[in-house]
Amino acid sequence: MSQKAGHGQVVCGAVAGPLFIAVVVVQALTRTGYDLGEHPLSLLSLGDLGWIQSANFVVAGALTAAFAAGMRRALDPGRGARWTPLLIGFFGVGLVVAGLFRPDPSYGFPPGSPEGTADELSTSAMLHGIGFALAIGSLTLACLVFARRDLARGRAFASSSPRSSRSRGRPRSRCVFAPASSSAGKSSNTPRGRRSALGAATRKGDNMRKIVAGLFVSLDGVVESPEHWNTPHFNDEIGAVLGSQMAAADTMVLGRVTYEEFAAYWADKGSDVPFADAMNGIPKLVASTTLAEADWQNTNVINGDLVARLTELKQQPGKDIITSGSPTLVGSLLRAGLLDELRLLVYPVVVGRGRRIFENGFEQMSLELVDARTLSNGVLSLTYVPSPN
């Protein structure tokens, strides 16, 4: 599904409610003999103009079902991400059923109908009632499931705050920067000194800058919305990892989406927020064909040939060039032969759904592991370089 289609489906949900209410209000004010205080909404489906309310039920249900499909796509992974859209979809189906089958005349409406309710329900009225029960029950359960989702997320953030104040208020990001070597954590049996030296000697000249990418990754390869699954594992080791890599770089390259997320969070942060000075001060490049200009300080937009611009930048003197958060950008740099190191922090978490580091269609490519460490929280710090073969 395209991002545009998903956005359109979510908009359906914003339209469904106001449209339904507007049609009901107009009918309540214009239909002869109908009293909104005495008569159920369902009775508007009866009479010569009853088709209007029947269509109102069906259209509202279809719009709600479309919204549920878009919500399923848009929701971040976690508790309730599957059941909330599913239940809202059932709510939409219930409205459609209520619109396809009409209730029995009752309470004097339409005019001339008997007062009170019928002694025996017709098949159509029974199906209408089942549709309404499905709609109301599903919506109630969806609200409860979504409330539990927010409650669980609140507990996760609260439980992580004693470990590090920096874990609170971190921007929504898919990135991590891991140093090539460190004494923190437990060393693996990888001969990283020898292999790192080999990688450095065979992949770049002594004076050429490196482009380094870093990502948070779950065990099942998900890089999307890590703030929902990596916060409990954040500790001082990871904080040191971030600071170490920032200190080794003097330029940052971002994709458009990551730039917008970072700018929204960091642009107004002061020196009292960890990493704020570094993030605001470092020169930044945004790779985008749709972004006209960048408002975040020290940021320029690359609208043209990204490969040519970065190739030129690598040949200039300076520190590392780091790229954050965008798996699309990382894949483009790998394919172009511009990425020197891919650094992953692999978390002991299975997310189950979401954008993965390399989606279907990415061509086969060999990488060489030059550094592997296990941090004290069980997170694996892995550094890969493109294989010379």
Summarised one tens digit per residue, pLDDT across range 143-171 is 888 777 666 544 433 433 333 334 344 44
On whether both 140 and 219 belong to a single domain, the answer is: no
Q: Please answer whether residues 145 and 84 qualify as being in contact, where contact means their C-beta atoms are separated by less than 8 angstroms.
A: yes
Residues paired with residue 285 on neighbouring β-strands, in sequence order: 253, 300
pLDDT of res. 82 = 78
d(CA 30, CA 259): 52
The three-state secondary structure class of 181 is coil
On whether both 17 and 102 belong to a single domain, the answer is: yes
What pTM does this model have?
0.50
Instruction: Give the number of other Cβ atoms within 10 Å of residue 295's Cβ.
Output: 7
Closest by Cα among 228, 290, 282, 222 to 257 = 290
On whether both 233 and 369 belong to a single domain, the answer is: yes
Closest by Cα among 381, 382, 384, 383 to 238 = 381
On whether both 261 and 326 belong to a single domain, the answer is: yes
Q: Please count the structural domains in the chain.
A: 2
Q: How many CA atoms lie within 13 A of 144 on its CB side?
A: 7
Domain end, chosen from 160, 190, 205, is at 160
Q: What is the token pair recorded at 234?
A: 């954040």
On whether both 149 and 178 belong to a single domain, the answer is: no
On whether both 170 and 146 belong to a single domain, the answer is: no
Element (H, E) at 216: strand 211-218
pLDDT of res. 227 = 80
d(CA 50, CA 56): 10
Domain end, chosen from 119, 137, 160, is at 160
pLDDT of res. 149 = 60
Q: Please answer whether residues 296 and 260 qualify as being in contact, where contact means their C-beta atoms are separated by less than 8 angstroms.
A: no
Q: Please answer whether residues 139 and 88 qualify as being in contact, where contact means their C-beta atoms are separated by less than 8 angstroms.
A: yes
On whether both 338 and 269 belong to a single domain, the answer is: yes
d(CA 272, CA 353): 36
pLDDT along the chain (389 residues), means of 10: 56 90 93 90 92 94 90 66 87 94 92 85 93 92 78 44 40 41 40 39 59 91 85 85 84 88 86 87 89 87 88 91 85 89 92 84 86 91 87
Q: Please answer whether residues 64 and 56 qualify as being in contact, where contact means their C-beta atoms are separated by less than 8 angstroms.
A: no
On whether both 247 and 139 belong to a single domain, the answer is: no
- Dihedral of CA 90/91/92/96: which sign? positive
User: What's 241's domain CATH number?
Assistant: 3.40.430.10
On whether both 178 and 91 belong to a single domain, the answer is: no
The three-state secondary structure class of 320 is strand
On whether both 156 and 169 belong to a single domain, the answer is: no
Determine the structural domain holding residue 54 and report its residue range.
Answer: 3-160
Within its chain, how far is the Cα of 154 from the centroid?
17
On whether both 270 and 362 belong to a single domain, the answer is: yes
d(CA 202, CA 196): 10
d(CA 188, CA 191): 8
d(CA 72, CA 80): 10
Q: Please answer whether residues 42 and 132 qualify as being in contact, where contact means their C-beta atoms are separated by less than 8 angstroms.
A: yes
On whether both 114 and 137 belong to a single domain, the answer is: yes
Residues 6+ apart with CB under 8 A from 254: 262, 284, 285, 286, 287, 323, 324, 325, 326, 329
Domain end, chosen from 114, 141, 160, is at 160
